[in-house]
Structure 1
Amino acid sequence: MKTRKYIAVLSISFGLLLQGCTKLDQEFYSSVTPETFFKSEKDIMAALYRPFTHAKWYMGEDRWRLQEYTADNFAITTKGRHWYNGGENERYHYHRWTADDGWIWGSWRGTLMGVALALDAKSDLSKLDYARFALTQDDQDAHLAQLDALIAYFYLRGLDYFGGMPVFESLEEEALPRNTDVELFNHIERLLKESIERLPVKAAGDREEGAIRKAAAAAMLAQLYFNAEAYIKKPMYAEAREIAEAIINKEYGDYTLDATWNGVHGFTNNASPEIIWSMPSEFKMLEYNWFYADFYHYNTRQYFNQDMGANNGAHLTPSRKPDGTLYKDEFKLGSPYEKFTQGDYRKAPYVYHGSGRYEGMFIVGPHRTPSGAPILGGEEYKDLPLNFVDQVGRFSEVGPGKKYSSVNQLPSKMSEGEENTGVRLVKVPIPNLNDNTLRWGADMPVIRLAELYYMAAECRFRDGDAAGAAELINSVRKRNFSNGADPNPVTAQNLDKYRFLDEWSIEFLGEGRRRTDLIRWKAFTTEEWWDHTPSNSDHLNRFPVPNEAIAGNNNLTQNPGY
């Protein structure tokens, strides 16, 4: 929980009609103009941060799902009578999505709606005389720069998901065709470069409250260059490294790695020196909570000593076969839980100790209340103690007179889950009811300094400096072990493509980036993991333009292969 200048929501009816996501009409319900509507600095800040509330929504839900359920770390298995969902979850896991799938349409529409909201705010604020509100020209420049950087953020995600999108710079433009990948790349680059010049830097001790500052825009530019080979077929790792190392060296503001693994994820992470940009969250105010229902069992409320129900859908992909042997000798990707080294603080079961203190990051093994009583199942294990396993299989159907005589006969695939299937991630801490004011008190990290360390490390590795890359990664890894003694450090000898992908997975598990990392390493369509065979179809590195968007705008063209 924090006291903060909170991102406000301006109650304006936009009537934004994103039919086809390029016809951007506005319907105003009075003749109010920006010059007459704004009465105080509070009104200005509300207008400035309105598109940020959309960004907070955009960063989770369907965008997260496209990044994680299509990759090797997460799955939503069918669990008996639950979660088949018309085959939707399997389509994403097996890379058989279509241009009619809802997560894809929601992400196309949400991307361009974010651009439209930011442009609308920019149009209003650019017309104001800031001196009327005892504000300076520098204040106005910084506000407009934030909106430009936010527009760049939405387009950067759109470029990652779809490739070229319609580039519009006002809400007067209608039914635009798609710009090329290179044109969209250049537009994002220009917006970020111009924003960096006008944004303020973070001073030592400043808390992260959700505004975009100079380092955040610079980090986005580094991300653009880092993935440029995938976006525009032009490697730009040298450019990415230059920016990443400049941020590490405090040239864009005062940031340092957090001393503890959960300082960057905990209830007071707005004070973490590692956070470069985050989305604020607080109980009953812009809560960062969408994942809860998807991740946890119906009865996990008893584990947390909370009052919230859940849908028991998502879990980590399994590290073990039904017979208990590891997949690591069969697949180089996936097995996210067992990729954590034994002794890593994060690998422990999640336990809340009170007053905001907690340990561990997973729900695994026997499910018990804080007092130690077993938590019972309600489906395959109705009235029996729940035990969450790092496996997928219908173990309840093994035994005399049942479908399978031994676990060796069990298939392990998307259709074979049970209510206790899979390790569950608790990266956002959940307090008990006694500390319920802390609920959703952890902000959502969007960019943190550790990403720049890993980015610089990968760029060094690609440039032949494996020792330098290992040093950067180990500087982050060591905080996860007692006295900083890492039993499995990265070395120049053990660092290769797969160790790099493992390190990205371990540090950023569940942070909505896995698909992008796999694509950058040319692994998304070429590698296998649990219950996923490679398609070797490069067109799947991009999602299709949704049919609903094309129906609303016949100037849009479909991506190749769809």
Structure 2
Amino acid sequence: MKRRSIILISAFVTLFFVGCTDLDEVWYDKVVPETFYKSKENIMSALYRPFTHARWYVTGDRWKVQEYTADHFAITTKGPHWYNGGENERYHYHRWTVEDNWIWQTWRGTLMGVALALDTKQDLEKLDYTKFTLTQEDKDSHISQLNTLIAFFYLNGLDYFGGLPVFTDLEAENVPRSTDQETFNHIESLLLDALDKLPVKKAGEPEEGVLKKGAAAAMLARLYFNAEAYTGSPMYEEAAALCRDIIAGEYGEYSLDPDWFGPFDFYNNESPEVIWSMPSEFNKLQYDWYYADFYHYNSRVYFDVDLGANNGGHLQPSRKPDSSLYMNEFELGSPYEKFNDADLRKQAYKYQGGGRYEGMFLVGKQISPVTGERSLGTQEYKDQLIVLDDRVGRFSEIGPGKTYSSVSELPSKMSEGEENTGIRLVKAPVPSMNDNTLRWGADHAVIRLAEIYYMLAECNWRAGDRESAAELINQVRSRNFADGADPDPATAANLDEYRMLDEWGIEFLGEGRRRTDLVRWNKFTTEAWWDHEPSGSEHLNRFPIPQEAISGNNNLEQNSGY
């Protein structure tokens, strides 16, 4: 095998156990890229490998640190379940430490992605593509895709941690962190270079995971859009210019999907809105983590599937135990009730067969729309119909001889969940057993055009043009209502900073970005929601460098405040 990749396992060992920054390897043979690659298939297999890592990267712990630290999702303790040594509460209450595993896995996964993409890039750069019936254009595309993927990992790492060790090859070891600005500049240079060489998406062309000009342009827009949070220097004008060009088709043919479910359904690779996605198919388990983490033990009955679940995460409550609204007390949070009642997405999820479905939530009585069978409880409500509740409280402990005499006495906080606590999001559709071949068929949409509209809207809002900001948001909102009749459109008068954050939260609920949006608006550490009090500690806008990373590389400096 090739000189580097046969021993990539040694890089993995280093990344896993020596802090992700000592990327030196031991060579076990003399094989080099020029002799390892025998066919076009070898090249494509090598190219796809770091994309497989990216598919893993956009889920799991990276999603958790973005969403469970913010105001939309929680993993409440449900009786004897899900306390997890206090881990879930630490993230929710912003008390994480340098030892916490989600943070370590995020650091490790970020630099592992860089290492995989950089390793493949270095090998492909050495090849004469004409020997494999490929062209220089193919080579430029492959190298540019890998540069874009490296930029993607670094962009996320900058968001989570600030400055990172910047690698341009895999020979260095114990590399110190670059500054925030240096990391920013490295990401920018990778994306600008890639924009010249990436292919352009054509109208009607399905999205199959290939990184194209539109994806690189969108990542660059993301970088500029959040530049103030990353480096202290706002670049909203630069972000707006890119967004206008993307919408105008300068970087490929994209358009808003006419249906709200189009970017997420089983055939979303055909959606004109998806700019970049992680391909999926039956048995590839792209969304198995999502199903397992969100749904009740017996949600399989509601969905009519053969899948088990852990009954962990759910939407944070919109209502107090007495059913009054938290929206009357907090500007943030209350994710379910932020949806207008006429919003088609607010309906209960019902699979209708043939890949068709309606609604985006498991809410209320869990009676299967497919079979009519009832989903029954196994804990506090054993053998009773599960009714998923938009409240958090130990309602089973109310009554004579029990802990509480009335609802008014119930506390609502992370420690007080029950098995039916919380509405569950169904952003990735779940087919019934009759359509089992569609399972996990929805690709993971990482970037979609709606985000470009919302970035441009916010840039315009910050520039003082609230009318055009509202128009852009309403172009996306209208598809969420029957016949496009939106009863509460954004207007120049009602679009304040909280309405803007609500619009981000509604459209991108559960898409792994909420913390970033709160940080950009300086709300992450300064605002309250549900049972979360603001810390007022600005250093919490970034996560600490994990202790395992520092233990493996004493050149790493910890973020201030930790």
1:452-489: CA deviation from partner (whole Å, max 9, x where unpaired): 00000000000000000000000000000011000010
Q: Note if 1:15 corresponds to 2:13.
A: no
Partners of 1:286 and 1:383 lie apart in 2 by: 30
Q: Hey, what does 1:5 align to over in structure 2?
A: none
Q: Hey, what does 1:447 align to over in structure 2?
A: 447
1:50-83: CA deviation from partner (whole Å, max 9, x where unpaired): 0010111011100000000000000000000000
Q: Note if 1:345 corresponds to 2:363.
A: no
Partners of 1:105 and 1:393 lie apart in 2 by: 32
Partners of 1:371 and 1:211 lie apart in 2 by: 39
1:397-451: CA deviation from partner (whole Å, max 9, x where unpaired): 0111111111110000000000000000000000011111100000000000000
Partners of 1:419 and 1:321 lie apart in 2 by: 17
Partners of 1:373 and 1:507 lie apart in 2 by: 32
- 1:134 is displaced (CA, Å) by 1.0
Equivalent pair of 1:13/1:28 in contact (CA under 8 Å)? no
Partners of 2:514 and 2:266 lie apart in 1 by: 25
Secondary structure of 2:181's match?
helix
Partners of 1:12 and 1:390 lie apart in 2 by: 51
Partners of 2:86 and 2:372 lie apart in 1 by: 38
Secondary structure of 1:331's match?
coil
Q: Note if 1:93 corresponds to 2:88.
A: no
Partners of 2:541 and 2:312 lie apart in 1 by: 25
Partners of 1:126 and 1:27 lie apart in 2 by: 22
TM-score, normalising length: structure 2: 0.97
Matches within 5 A, 1:47-66: 47-66=46-65
Q: Note if 1:162 corresponds to 2:161.
A: yes
Partners of 2:27 and 2:50 lie apart in 1 by: 18
Partners of 1:240 and 1:289 lie apart in 2 by: 35
Partners of 1:37 and 1:14 lie apart in 2 by: 17
Equivalent pair of 1:158/1:165 in contact (CA under 8 Å)? yes
Matches within 5 A, 1:144-155: 144-155=143-154
Q: Hey, what does 1:7 align to over in structure 2?
A: none
- 1:28 is displaced (CA, Å) by 4.9
In percent, how many aligned pairs have the same letter?
67
Partners of 2:24 and 2:293 lie apart in 1 by: 34
Q: Hey, what does 1:511 align to over in structure 2?
A: 511
1:182-211: CA deviation from partner (whole Å, max 9, x where unpaired): 000000000000001110100111110001
Q: Between Structure 1 and Structure 2, how many residues are aligned?
A: 553
- Report the residue type matching 2:126 in the other structure: K
Equivalent pair of 2:227/2:235 in contact (CA under 8 Å)? yes
Equivalent pair of 1:457/1:473 in contact (CA under 8 Å)? yes
- Report the residue type matching 1:324 in the other structure: S
- Report the residue type matching 1:418 in the other structure: E
- 1:499 is displaced (CA, Å) by 0.1
Q: Note if 1:254 corresponds to 2:253.
A: yes
Equivalent pair of 2:302/2:373 in contact (CA under 8 Å)? no
Secondary structure of 2:351's match?
strand
Secondary structure of 2:156's match?
helix
Unpaired runs of at least 5, structure 1 = 1-9
- 1:288 is displaced (CA, Å) by 3.2
Matches within 5 A, 1:439-478: 439-478=439-478
- Report the residue type matching 1:15 in the other structure: S
- 1:371 is displaced (CA, Å) by 2.9
Q: Hey, what does 1:204 align to over in structure 2?
A: 203
- 1:29 is displaced (CA, Å) by 4.6
Deviates more, 1:16-25 or 1:110-119: 16-25
- Report the residue type matching 1:531 in the other structure: D
1:486-531: CA deviation from partner (whole Å, max 9, x where unpaired): 0010000000010000000000000000000000000000000011
- Report the residue type matching 1:387 in the other structure: V
Partners of 2:41 and 2:540 lie apart in 1 by: 45
Q: Hey, what does 1:409 align to over in structure 2?
A: 409
Partners of 2:7 and 2:143 lie apart in 1 by: 19
Q: Hey, what does 1:488 align to over in structure 2?
A: 488
Partners of 2:285 and 2:38 lie apart in 1 by: 25
Equivalent pair of 1:280/1:286 in contact (CA under 8 Å)? no
Secondary structure of 1:25's match?
coil
- 1:376 is displaced (CA, Å) by 1.0
Partners of 2:478 and 2:155 lie apart in 1 by: 32
Partners of 1:205 and 1:423 lie apart in 2 by: 36
Deviates more, 1:195-204 or 1:18-27: 18-27
Secondary structure of 2:445's match?
strand
Q: Hey, what does 1:46 align to over in structure 2?
A: 45
Structure 1 residues 558 and 518, CA gap change in structure 2 (3 angstroms)? same
Partners of 2:21 and 2:484 lie apart in 1 by: 52
Structure 1 residues 310 and 28, CA gap change in structure 2 (3 angstroms)? farther
- Report the residue type matching 1:71 in the other structure: A
TM-score, normalising length: structure 1: 0.97
Equivalent pair of 1:14/1:28 in contact (CA under 8 Å)? no
1:340-387: CA deviation from partner (whole Å, max 9, x where unpaired): 001111000000011100000000000112332322100000111110
Equivalent pair of 1:265/1:443 in contact (CA under 8 Å)? yes
Q: Hey, what does 1:499 align to over in structure 2?
A: 499
Matches within 5 A, 1:367-446: 367-369=366-368, 370-446=370-446
- 1:11 is displaced (CA, Å) by 8.7
Partners of 2:231 and 2:426 lie apart in 1 by: 36
Structure 1 residues 440 and 29, CA gap change in structure 2 (3 angstroms)? farther
Partners of 1:185 and 1:158 lie apart in 2 by: 10
Structure 1 residues 43 and 186, CA gap change in structure 2 (3 angstroms)? same
Matches within 5 A, 1:34-433: 34-285=33-284, 287-369=286-368, 370-433=370-433
- Report the residue type matching 2:215 in the other structure: A
- Report the residue type matching 2:97 in the other structure: T
Equivalent pair of 1:392/1:412 in contact (CA under 8 Å)? yes
Unpaired runs of at least 5, structure 2 = none
- 1:49 is displaced (CA, Å) by 1.1
- Report the residue type matching 2:459 in the other structure: C
Deviates more, 1:40-49 or 1:473-482: 40-49
Partners of 2:482 and 2:290 lie apart in 1 by: 30
Partners of 1:90 and 1:284 lie apart in 2 by: 33
Matches within 5 A, 1:14-33: 14-16=9-11, 17-18=14-15, 19-33=18-32
- Report the residue type matching 2:290 in the other structure: F
- Report the residue type matching 1:267 in the other structure: F
Structure 1 residues 371 and 207, CA gap change in structure 2 (3 angstroms)? same
Partners of 1:373 and 1:253 lie apart in 2 by: 47
Equivalent pair of 2:274/2:448 in contact (CA under 8 Å)? yes
Equivalent pair of 1:380/1:419 in contact (CA under 8 Å)? yes
Partners of 1:123 and 1:27 lie apart in 2 by: 17
